[in-house]
Amino acid sequence: MRLRLPLLLTIAALLNQAAAVEYQTVPDWLKLPEGRTQLGNQHGDVAVSSAGEVYVSTMDPKAGLQVYGADGKWLRNVPNAPADFHGFVIKKQADGEFIYGPRLGGGNILKLTLDGKEVLNIPSSVIPDDFKVKNKDGKTRVAMTGMDVAPDGDWYVTDGYASSYVHRFDKTGKYLKSFGGKKAPYNFTTLHKIAVDTRFTPVRIICCDREALRVVHLSTDGEFLGVVAKDLLAPAAIAVQGDYALVGEIRGAVSVLDKEGKLVARLGLNTTPGETGNNNLEPAKWRPGFVTAPHGVAFNAAGDIFVSEYNKFGRVHRFNVK
């Protein structure tokens, strides 16, 4: 996909307005376990634990959630983890460190320990039918794609492939409310993934409205606060750390935004026709530092960036902050 000249000029202007941050590509950083030639079919996410270990989700029933060391070496697979973690996060809390994620196919939302023990399992049946998509046969469905956990313990889960509603739960898993959707004032298209934006007081929800090419802010009660950034290359994944929001754009780029929504870095930009926005690009055509379909993003404690692709062979990029 080729970028239009006005968009290139807009990016350049934004970089001139914000303090730039520099990153360097770390090629071939991930080392697969012996006997495994490909990471696996990816339509998932990436997250980093407090120990610096990198968790990567795939659609492999035997290795749905894989763990790699900070040096890229494979460590283990998480037992009992599903093969449909489309979006997940890792949170360290007073009582431990946990994996949170909705199952895209299963429709339930899980809280697991880092070694795969189930702590909570919320069925989609607790969400009122008013906030679900109704099929032709009258049955309702969800297709939840991402979530995050606020400092107070509340969960925010997005039904990105169905209703584009955000569903809120308390730390015990009790359903609280839903907000968003495809009607005004939200007008969401595909509310793909979300993050709690801790850069603000009170905290906000920052959302990837993928097909509308924009990132938006909501209050934790569901008020539409405004557009953070627009004219992106289909924002599909987001993470917040320190002063920055990290946006993975499925049509071929990764952007780092400051608190005002200004661009401070643009990584992996790929303008080669046919290489972006799909999961078919084979490893022989991969180029270090060029993304194809970013679908999950994460920071480590040092501010280095990890990007998981939508790719049937499986690929995770690393960009280290300079």
Can you give the pLDDT at residue 7? 41
Condensed to tens digits (0 to 9), the pLDDT of residues 262-280 reads 999 999 999 999 999 999 9
Count the alpha carbons within 13 Å of 72 in the hemisphere toward its beta carbon: 15
Per-residue DSSP letter, 139: -
Per-residue DSSP letter, 91: E
Domains of the chain, by residue range, sit at 5-321
For 59-102, give the DSSP string: S-TTSSEEEE-TTSBEEEE-TT--S-BSS-EEEEETTEEEEEEE
- Is the pLDDT confidence value at 5 over 70? no
Condensed to tens digits (0 to 9), the pLDDT of residues 272-308 reads 999 999 999 999 999 999 999 999 999 999 999 999 9
Q: What is the fold, at CATH topology level, of the domain defined by 5-321?
A: Neuraminidase (2.120.10)
Residue among 17, 7, 3 nearest 263 (CA): 17
How much is the pTM? 0.93
- Is the pLDDT confidence value at 141 over 90? yes
Alpha helices for 197-273 (secondary structure H): none
Query: What is the rounded average pLDDT of the residues 83-92?
Result: 98
- Give the pLDDT band (50/70/90) at residue 18: low
Give the integer Cα–Cα distance in Å for 307 and 286: 14
Condensed to tens digits (0 to 9), the pLDDT of residues 142-154 reads 999 999 999 999 9
In single-letter form, the type of residue at position 127 comes to I
Torsion of CA 21, 26, 32, 34, to 10 degrees: -150
